[in-house]
Amino acid sequence: MPGYPVLPAGLAYGGDYNPEQWPEDVWREDVRLMREAGVNLVTVGVFNWGLIEPREGQFDFARLDRILDLLHSAGVYADLATPTSSPPTWFRHRYPGSRLVDEGGRVLGGGSRHSFCPSSPDYAAASERVVAALAARYAGHPAVAMWHVHNEYGWANAHCHCPVSAEAFRAWLREKYGEVGALNAAWGTVFWGLTYGSFDEVEPPVAAPPGLLSGLRLDFMRFSVDAHIACFRRERETIRRFGDQPVTTNFMIPNCKPMDYRRWAEEVDVVANDHYLVAERPDSHIELALAADLTRSVAGGRPWMLMEHSTGAVNWQPRNVAKRPGEMRRNTLAHVARGSDAAMFFQWRASRHGAEKFHSAMVPHAGVDSEVWRDVVALGADLRRLGGVRGERVTAEVALVWDWESYWAVEFEWRPSADLRFRDRVEAYYEALWREHVTADFVHPSADLSPYRLVVLPSSYLLGEAPAKNLHRYVEAGGHLLVSCFSGIVDENDTIHPGPHPGALREVLGLTVEEFHPLREHETVPLRRSGDPGGTGPAGRIWSERVRLAGARAVHDFAGGPDAGHPAVTRNDLGGGTAWYVATALDPAPGDGAHDADLRGLVAGVLDHAGVSRPRGLPDTLEVVRRGDHLFLLNHADAAVTVGGVTGTGVLDGAAYTGSATVPAGGVVVVRP
Amino acid sequence: MPGYPVLPAGLAYGGDYNPEQWPEDVWREDVRLMREAGVNLVTVGVFNWGLIEPREGQFDFARLDRILDLLHSAGVYADLATPTSSPPTWFRHRYPGSRLVDEGGRVLGGGSRHSFCPSSPDYAAASERVVAALAARYAGHPAVAMWHVHNEYGWANAHCHCPVSAEAFRAWLREKYGEVGALNAAWGTVFWGLTYGSFDEVEPPVAAPPGLLSGLRLDFMRFSVDAHIACFRRERETIRRFGDQPVTTNFMIPNCKPMDYRRWAEEVDVVANDHYLVAERPDSHIELALAADLTRSVAGGRPWMLMEHSTGAVNWQPRNVAKRPGEMRRNTLAHVARGSDAAMFFQWRASRHGAEKFHSAMVPHAGVDSEVWRDVVALGADLRRLGGVRGERVTAEVALVWDWESYWAVEFEWRPSADLRFRDRVEAYYEALWREHVTADFVHPSADLSPYRLVVLPSSYLLGEAPAKNLHRYVEAGGHLLVSCFSGIVDENDTIHPGPHPGALREVLGLTVEEFHPLREHETVPLRRSGDPGGTGPAGRIWSERVRLAGARAVHDFAGGPDAGHPAVTRNDLGGGTAWYVATALDPAPGDGAHDADLRGLVAGVLDHAGVSRPRGLPDTLEVVRRGDHLFLLNHADAAVTVGGVTGTGVLDGAAYTGSATVPAGGVVVVRP
Amino acid sequence: MPGYPVLPAGLAYGGDYNPEQWPEDVWREDVRLMREAGVNLVTVGVFNWGLIEPREGQFDFARLDRILDLLHSAGVYADLATPTSSPPTWFRHRYPGSRLVDEGGRVLGGGSRHSFCPSSPDYAAASERVVAALAARYAGHPAVAMWHVHNEYGWANAHCHCPVSAEAFRAWLREKYGEVGALNAAWGTVFWGLTYGSFDEVEPPVAAPPGLLSGLRLDFMRFSVDAHIACFRRERETIRRFGDQPVTTNFMIPNCKPMDYRRWAEEVDVVANDHYLVAERPDSHIELALAADLTRSVAGGRPWMLMEHSTGAVNWQPRNVAKRPGEMRRNTLAHVARGSDAAMFFQWRASRHGAEKFHSAMVPHAGVDSEVWRDVVALGADLRRLGGVRGERVTAEVALVWDWESYWAVEFEWRPSADLRFRDRVEAYYEALWREHVTADFVHPSADLSPYRLVVLPSSYLLGEAPAKNLHRYVEAGGHLLVSCFSGIVDENDTIHPGPHPGALREVLGLTVEEFHPLREHETVPLRRSGDPGGTGPAGRIWSERVRLAGARAVHDFAGGPDAGHPAVTRNDLGGGTAWYVATALDPAPGDGAHDADLRGLVAGVLDHAGVSRPRGLPDTLEVVRRGDHLFLLNHADAAVTVGGVTGTGVLDGAAYTGSATVPAGGVVVVRP
């Protein structure tokens, strides 16, 4: 069976390569420049279906033959894509039943990509045919190092509501539930009298009056993931009939909410991810770190591939703020530090046509006399120097729980507060850890938690009975658990656990919640340390609730708002471990001052209690990550930082560090013993 | 003929009861707790269609039999619902022609409630069949005290735009107009050349270029009310074939704009209303008071039933702020003070499944060891003590005009200012009265106005000739009239009255309006007392206009803006009465200071002039209402208030009040001579 | 061939006249009042289709006969409209295939105007029939001075997405491209693999996943313009079979973005325009001046007709702020000053019915005892006195480039910054000129530029090779060019010019742009004069970029932001001329203080360099325009202004001006030698 690693040695470096957009004399310049920059892998053929199968069943591989031969002659490997994310116009024209239908019943138009139904049998047949032809021709080509199936599954067609999809959904439900009574029980259809008499009566969740069955929504999301995974498997199995190179597809972690990448990760030989900054966002590098840690985590800790990121601005955000000097390098090396064995970009050469012509590239419109190109060449050199990190692992003492199903469910309509968003909560806790220089994994709550000193549950609303027991056992066995509000409320069917909230976590937390008290927009409530009437503490947002202790003890109380005088942060010692609970939404604040008053201070205390090791006394703008025996120090501030306790060789700069290292403003130092 | 009252004695107390969501052992706990709380009426079967008719034409009443018997054995009466607001899934599947179509032409999906066309003959047949079966079986059941037809008519399907509805609309127009020329005249179709050659050419008002015929819109709104009323009548008449208990349906006053409840009220034996706070709104108890007064008014002053409200938070607002301690009690007692003989909640026991699982209930998820349950039990005791108020009337010396057709019309597209909203205006005048401790009725402008010392018209844009004459006669006979801007502009077809604005009110007001001068967003214009160049006065928003006096005299002038120096508030003495006019949008300000500078001061002066009696010197956070010989004092502030001139017995507390009563912070005192 | 002028003498004065909305006794009052006000032209029959053809193929002209005879007897000319913008209800009912379909696939409803497909053959046949009948009957009528085809083409149906339109679009593409390979090359379909195998596969740009082919969008916009022009030509040619009066249609410059009025202007005998203020906007008279200058420019400098404006408020904006005293007069005279030989209003008499009943009129709802009517009469007198200006030309030394295709393209999705809007940029430069008392023309970049001392390109994103060469030659020949950022980026297919940005303007500007650096929302970057480290300068918004000089020299540098220290404003001397470049978005500020710090100061310097003549020392609220030998002075401020160097006769007031003229607050003075 094929699998990781992909290249003979070192880290992969390159990008999406679309030579079909250029005359052949440009191709020759391309490979010359690739060699100059140290590019060793390019993704080819992502949007080639219409070119290699210009008419149904008629294939023309002449151009692709020349491209792959040229790459091979230059020593550049190909990540050969199947072109199935953008079916040819003839396919759409000839098979109108394959068109994508949105939740309002609109048949979506062509002229873009992804505008097809993932459950379409016509699409299945046509895509299998083209993949078979491609694999038959190129599985033996020496340039082909790996297969890149499709492109960004679910980017625009995560959910299709056409009649074909509806029928496929009903078949999926029959398979899952066996008989309709089981479905009715799971979805609680007795509420509002929505009991189904047969599976035939089920429709996908289209535009409807409010209050739609959340079980229907949840299962349709699950079904849709399966529909896309089935497309992937069909292509993967077709390829394997011909070749044994690793097969992957590019994920969009964490920015394609409908795709449950935990399940996707089981399907690929190596996890590959596309990541783009939210450009206007301050400290977007923290979101990048989260994405990289989450990607590594869905990959089970194994090295993964950064399949796309950008040298500068993207084109699809409202204001495509470009990267500042040094930012591309820090971004790339942060991904490598957190487990990537590749540094790939979209795309090699900026396009003159089409939707993405204002997307940055390795070869920009300005050409090679440009900062971007010089940075690309320099990055190639950096990556060569870092080749020794390939295959190394990142270990973490802390894990955050991330369950896509809970993410979906907590943001369905008609929750207590529309302001309580999963991403907001997980990012707040992640940022607090990042600023404390702690690297974290992400886990499903049913995972083996024994490797971790601390597990954090940020608003893990949906939590089944088995995962809850897993958490309980973890604490009893000496683990430390930090839970934020509105966790453990419902089971996997979005049914509230019996008894007082939080049903799945009452025992481990040693408390119940009598009533939720969502706050008004922009309202805050002060907290203070229990037993310290004059003290100050962090201010909560969004949420307050009436906690009743049942074994736990209060650490902080609400000092205002609807629950003034009642517990806000609690601690429960259970077996050998401890479970904390935070009954409101707290946020970390940037800066290196005292953090009594925010989430960072609270997290720091829990880390100390849990014995999580981490460097001390460093500014909270310095990113510190260990991968294998490499220590990465990435300085996101405008002033240099000197870090003590660092001895070894500078991998990028060749310096000898004895006891301390100074990281320049905006710079990166990597040290190896 | 059946009718009010419903129960043998006392006030009704209870809520929606959905035992089908629970195993039967919970039922037994339910009735035990109902007795503990003093519950005497529960609404049963609202969403039972799929349960009692699991397959078309096959009925299964076993469960409902047991439930009703159990209630009866516990001495709890049933408000038995027809289940027609949520047709079974088999109905939707078998009769796709019955599906709801929105104004964009989308066929709305299932998986929620109300997703059907009210004009569907298939729906009519199916709903009549199930209601007949239900009534035949239970009309003689001793637990059944009343019938609750359907649930919240118009909640999501107020308007259907399907072909069946279109045909029904055309039939309705034929009936109304006889021949198409009359329709053309009424709608003014000559404008833009939209003259219809036949009724067949009329389509419902679907998504279209802007500037749609407003006559078409108005008549479609009227038709839609009739379509729903026809559904109600069909069920009511079916029930009456079997039983004579009172029949009602639960209104949503004032928060279901498309339903003209003035017309609805004529159809029910007792008016029932659902009311939920806009939870984030400060002073939401004033909106509650308005809702209660409006409900009493559509009930013609007779006692009504509060059919649903909430013990705490609802689930369908963006931030479902829960009630604070004492708030549920004040809410309930305010409804009773303003004429309700019932205090019902949605719902008895909080659901574990479905769209409303985060809606509060009488038995919360936390169970009976909770503040909510203790408050529910205490409220039951309060209501028992208040039994004597049953059947008593509230009398008011002031009335506000509320006409749903004007409410609709003033908010159609292409009015002079999108900021001039009916609800905003009516709530401003209502709040000024509330803070002056004046209880008000609501009236249609064609009603008998002689009971009132003062009638207020808050932006009553649509006003026909006959109602206008009614107002004129009222003033001539000694009445007092207070009119706000943009009143009396068009007739019942949305045609501008001939001559200068305000055509319907020029004579009674003694003025004309030469031109409207809508203000910019957030712009304000100062007013000052006429003849007092240095004086200050209230600041107007949204609207200014050029008033030309023709008999009236100026009370305030605009001191800035497009009409500086011209009248802003006028007074016209006519016969024995007086008509005031306010040519801008003024607002009351909370607080007990001087109110020269806002609507409250202006209203106070008019009240004095009209001789409206009211208590003086009380804080504007104290709600004072008389119902029969009961004086209700509800304190919405955080400090106790002592009210003078109060002598009698405290109904809730048993205290003897001699000359004054102190109402605790957040508390309620009810005194009876 | 017919053409301008329309009336025997003087300026045209009047408005839309819709007597069909009124009984005939009102008609007689109408003509009496028209004579009182000096009205000499009214537009008749705009919405008459259903009246003159009440059933298909049956015509009834009795009413229109009477109206035209009555007008003729009163000496009022008719601008006779074809009624085709609002087909009769029978047409819509009988020909459902003619209905308008929006980009979401919704078939739009009736009950308004313009709800038809411009490519419908049924519409073509029906409209040709009614126009032929109308022209046959009235081409010889002595009252008919001109023909007003249709009304506001493209108001609501600029784009239709129905199957008929789709087929017409494909035919248009076949005609344009000949074979599909040419289309693929133009649209760059190789990107995302969207290569079309045949024209049959092309669909209009409907709702689809993001990133739709911009070539498809552009061509669909062009096709849609052609579809409407074809409708116009069909009617014009039909009319010409019967009569030779001038034929026009009313444009909506500049507020109907989809209509490329440069191409439209070639079709009409005289350009006619409707203009309405954006009422809430401060200084809306500057937007009016822009509209008038642009209208004159599309008319090729020939006199044009102001076909609609308003006496006061309109009805279709959110807050329809009415005109202040004197504003209507200034508005009308500004249009005349800038080339209009007509002053027409919508409408003569305010309607009691329909969508526009709150639109102001010459005869308001308040009747003739009103300021509006008195102003209308006074305006009639002003216009009679101004008769001598008829036919005179306005000459300008400055031109701004306005190309509808670039306007469309720069605002498609996925540009570097959504904040960079064409209207915003063109209005900023226009306002700077206006405040400098400079009258400007608008030109297409391929026009003959030799008449101008200065040409301004405000964000002219789309610029073909030939127009770019035209600009280059212009500068080489001594012209002055002022270019704002994001100009000259793509060709007419939205393909990026090869090489560094701005591909079409690199040489003339003497620079390249290495990278765009869009700013965050509300972010600003300071500028300072090059070589003056302590100096201050204007602040840029929205955009920064890395300019690399290649012949040009820096005038201002960025003093902050992503390009701090690099050029922000540059100057390139080339041949006899100079080309300036502004690499960010600057804005003019009102007021008469120093303008070093904004766009106005920069523009003033360029004007000085280019030797553009203009008055000095006047407040920036005084509008100064010359038309022929008439000097118009319009004072938009609240204080009188004395202007030196003015000698001649006051045309409006009869005064003799010798050396100076004082323009009253809000007043207008017109002086002729």
Using the beta-carbon criterion (under 8 Å), do C191 and A47 form an inter-chain contact?
A: yes
Cα-based distances in Å from C62 to C52, C59, C66, C69, C216: 8, 9, 6, 11, 48
Q: What is the pLDDT at residue A3? A: 63
In this predicted structure, the answer to whether residue A1 has a pLDDT above a threshold of 90 is no
Q: What is the pLDDT at residue A258? A: 98
Could you tell me the pLDDT band of residue A531, with boundaries at 50, 70 and 90? confident
Cα gap C147→C79, rounded to integer Å: 6
CB contacts of C501 in chain A (<8 Å) are 365-366
Nearest CA in chain C to B490: C352
How close C13 gets to chain B, by Cα (Å)?
Answer: 23
Out of B197, B211, B418, closest to residue C112 by CB: B211
Q: Please report, to the nearest 10 degrees, the dihedral formed by the alpha carbons of residues A10, A14, A19, A24 taken in order.
A: -60
CB B626 within 8 A of CB B439: yes
Nearest CA in chain B to A417: B319
CB A107 within 8 A of CB A97: no
Using the beta-carbon criterion (under 8 Å), do C355 and B520 form an inter-chain contact?
A: no
How close C326 gets to chain B, by Cα (Å)?
Answer: 13
Q: What is the mean pLDDT of residues B118-131?
A: 98
For the stretch C599-622, pLDDT in tens is 999 999 999 999 999 999 999 999
Q: What is the mean pLDDT of residues B637-651?
A: 97
Using the beta-carbon criterion (under 8 Å), do B194 and C55 form an inter-chain contact?
A: no
CB B280 within 8 A of CB B238: no
How close A587 gets to chain B, by Cα (Å)?
Answer: 19
Nearest CA in chain C to B516: C322
Cα gap C206→A108, rounded to integer Å: 7
- A577-582 β-sheet, strand order: A440-443, A398-401, A454-457, A480-484, A577-582, A567-574, A553-558, A524-529, A539-541
- Locate C366 and state its tokens: 């308040």
For the stretch B257-301, pLDDT in tens is 999 999 999 999 999 999 999 999 989 999 999 999 999 999 999
Q: What is the pLDDT at residue A536? A: 74
Strand (E) or helix (H) holding B49: helix B49-52
Q: What is the mean pLDDT of residues B216-241?
A: 98
CB A490 within 8 A of CB A462: yes
Could you tell me the pLDDT band of residue B590, with boundaries at 50, 70 and 90? confident
Could you tell me the pLDDT band of residue A589, with boundaries at 50, 70 and 90? confident
In this predicted structure, the answer to whether residue C644 has a pLDDT above a threshold of 90 is yes
| Segment A70-75 long-range contacts (CB within 8 Å, at least 24 positions apart) | A70/A27, A70/A28, A70/A31, A71/A31, A71/A42, A71/A44, A71/A143, A72/A141, A72/A142, A72/A143, A73/A31, A74/A31, A74/A32, A74/A34, A74/A35, A75/A35, A75/A40
Nearest CA in chain A to B312: A515
Return the CATH fold of A398-610: Rossmann fold (3.40.50)
Using the beta-carbon criterion (under 8 Å), do C364 and B515 form an inter-chain contact?
A: yes
Strand (E) or helix (H) holding B146: strand B144-148
DSSP code of A577?
E
Using the beta-carbon criterion (under 8 Å), do C111 and B500 form an inter-chain contact?
A: no
CB contacts of A188 in chain B (<8 Å) are 21, 351-354
- Locate C110 and state its tokens: 């009736």
Exposure string (b/e) for A329-350, b if CB count within 10 Å is 16 or more?
bbbbbbbbbbbbbbbbbbbbbb
CB C445 within 8 A of CB C483: no
Cα gap C279→C310, rounded to integer Å: 11
Q: What is the pLDDT at residue B1? A: 42
For the stretch C74-111, pLDDT in tens is 999 999 999 999 999 999 999 999 999 999 999 999 99
Cα gap B181→B360, rounded to integer Å: 54
Using the beta-carbon criterion (under 8 Å), do B209 and C106 form an inter-chain contact?
A: no
Indicate the burial class of A589 (C-beta count within 10 angstroms; 0-12, 13-18, 19 or more): middle
In this predicted structure, the answer to whether residue C234 has a pLDDT above a threshold of 70 is yes
Pairing of strands C340-345, C12-17: parallel
C41 CB neighbour count, 10 Å cutoff: 27
* Interface with chain C: mutation pick from B192, B212, B486, B512, highest number of C CBs within 10 Å: B192
Q: What is the pLDDT at residue C572? A: 98
- Which chains have 3+ CB pairs within 8 A of B? A, C
Nearest CA in chain A to B355: A211
For residue A625, the SS3 value is strand
In this predicted structure, the answer to whether residue A406 has a pLDDT above a threshold of 70 is yes
Q: What is the mean pLDDT of residues C202-212?
A: 95
CB C310 within 8 A of CB C364: no
Nearest CA in chain B to A212: B112
Using the beta-carbon criterion (under 8 Å), do A415 and B315 form an inter-chain contact?
A: yes
In this predicted structure, the answer to whether residue A302 has a pLDDT above a threshold of 90 is yes
CB contacts of A193 in chain B (<8 Å) are 47-51, 83, 86, 88, 113
**Does the domain formed by C12-389 have CATH 3.20.20.80?**
yes
Out of A190, A202, A514, closest to residue B371 by CB: A514
Q: What is the mean pLDDT of residues C324-344?
A: 98
Q: Please report, to the nearest 10 degrees, the dihedral formed by the alpha carbons of residues B513, B519, B523, B526 taken in order.
A: -10
Using the beta-carbon criterion (under 8 Å), do B47 and A208 form an inter-chain contact?
A: no
The ranges assigned to domains in chain A are 12-159+242-389, 398-610, 622-672
For the stretch C413-463, pLDDT in tens is 999 999 999 999 999 999 999 999 999 999 999 999 999 999 999 999 999
Q: What is the pLDDT at residue C1? A: 42
How close C272 gets to chain B, by Cα (Å)?
Answer: 20
Return the CATH fold of A12-159+242-389: TIM Barrel (3.20.20)
Using the beta-carbon criterion (under 8 Å), do A194 and B370 form an inter-chain contact?
A: no
Q: What is the pLDDT at residue C536? A: 74
CA end-to-end distance (rounded Å), chain B: 35
Cα gap A277→B96, rounded to integer Å: 46
For the stretch C563-595, pLDDT in tens is 999 999 999 999 999 999 999 999 988 777 666
CA end-to-end distance (rounded Å), chain A: 35
Out of A48, A353, A371, closest to residue C193 by CB: A48
Using the beta-carbon criterion (under 8 Å), do B209 and C115 form an inter-chain contact?
A: yes
Using the beta-carbon criterion (under 8 Å), do C351 and B191 form an inter-chain contact?
A: yes
pTM of the model: 0.97
Out of A213, A416, A546, closest to residue B313 by CB: A416
CB A422 within 8 A of CB A485: no
Out of C107, C358, C371, closest to residue B415 by CB: C358
How close A324 gets to chain C, by Cα (Å)?
Answer: 7
- Locate B172 and state its tokens: 């309705």
Cα-based distances in Å from C273 to C225, C307, C408, C601: 17, 5, 21, 33
Q: What is the pLDDT at residue A592? A: 72
Out of A208, A500, A519, closest to residue B110 by CB: A208
Q: What is the mean pLDDT of residues B80-91?
A: 97
Average pLDDT, chain B: 96
B53, B152, B397, B405: the active-site residue: B152
Indicate the burial class of B392 (C-beta count within 10 angstroms; 0-12, 13-18, 19 or more): middle
Q: What is the mean pLDDT of residues C303-318?
A: 98
- Which chains have 3+ CB pairs within 8 A of C? A, B
Is A308 among the residues known to form the active site?
yes
Using the beta-carbon criterion (under 8 Å), do C322 and B518 form an inter-chain contact?
A: yes
Nearest CA in chain B to C108: B208
Using the beta-carbon criterion (under 8 Å), do A110 and C207 form an inter-chain contact?
A: no
Using the beta-carbon criterion (under 8 Å), do A207 and B109 form an inter-chain contact?
A: yes
Residue B508, φ and ψ in degrees, nearest 5: -70, -30
B53, B308, B405, B436: the active-site residue: B308
Out of B47, B319, B321, closest to residue A418 by CB: B319
Indicate the burial class of A401 (C-beta count within 10 angstroms; 0-12, 13-18, 19 or more): buried
Cα-based distances in Å from C301 to B185, C148, C331, C396, C621: 46, 21, 20, 10, 25
Which residues, 6+ apart, have CB-to-CB distance to A125 below 8 Å? none
Which residues, 6+ apart, have CB-to-CB distance to B421 below 8 Å? B410, B411
CB contacts of C20 in chain B (<8 Å) are 190
Which residues, 6+ apart, have CB-to-CB distance to B354 below 8 Å? A188, A191, A192, A211, A213, A214
ipTM (interface predicted TM): 0.96
CB B366 within 8 A of CB A500: yes
- Locate C151 and state its tokens: 């009304």
CB B13 within 8 A of CB B342: yes
CB contacts of B373 in chain A (<8 Å) are none
Cα gap A33→B319, rounded to integer Å: 56
CB C471 within 8 A of CB C455: yes
Indicate the burial class of C25 (C-beta count within 10 angstroms; 0-12, 13-18, 19 or more): exposed
Using the beta-carbon criterion (under 8 Å), do B366 and A514 form an inter-chain contact?
A: yes
Exposure string (b/e) for B593-610, b if CB count within 10 Å is 16 or more?
eebebbbbbbbbbbbeeb
DSSP for C197-254, written as a single string: SSGGG-----S-SS---HHHHHHHHHHHHHHHHHHHHHHHHHHHTT--S-EE-EE-TT
CB A267 within 8 A of CB A2: no
Is C152 among the residues known to form the active site?
yes
For the stretch C252-308, pLDDT in tens is 999 999 999 999 999 999 999 999 999 999 899 999 999 999 999 999 999 999 999
CB contacts of C562 in chain A (<8 Å) are 322, 324
Cα gap C79→B439, rounded to integer Å: 60
For the stretch B435-461, pLDDT in tens is 999 999 999 999 999 999 999 999 999
- Locate B243 and state its tokens: 């039983």
CB contacts of A92 in chain C (<8 Å) are 201
Which residues, 6+ apart, have CB-to-CB distance to A8 below 8 Å? none
In this predicted structure, the answer to whether residue C23 has a pLDDT above a threshold of 50 is yes
pLDDT above 70 coverage of chain A, percent = 99
Out of B196, B210, B515, closest to residue C366 by CB: B515
Q: Which CATH architecture has domain B622-672?
A: Sandwich (2.60)
SS in 3 state form for C531-596? CCCCCCCCEEECCCEEEEECCCEEEEEECCHHHCCCEEEEEEEECCEEEEEECCECCCCCCCCCCC
For the stretch C158-198, pLDDT in tens is 999 999 999 999 999 999 999 999 999 999 999 999 999 99
Cα gap A159→A155, rounded to integer Å: 10
For the stretch B164-200, pLDDT in tens is 999 999 999 999 999 999 999 999 999 999 999 999 9
**Amino acid sitting at position B617:** G
pLDDT above 70 coverage of chain B, percent = 99
Q: What is the mean pLDDT of residues A411-415?
A: 96
For residue A232, the SS3 value is helix
Q: What angle do CA B392, B396, B398 make, to 5 degrees?
A: 165
* Best CA proximity match to B160, nearest among B122, B104, B110, B121: B104
Q: State the residue for tokens 């309700």.
A: B340
CB contacts < 8 A, A to B, total 191
How close C223 gets to chain A, by Cα (Å)?
Answer: 17
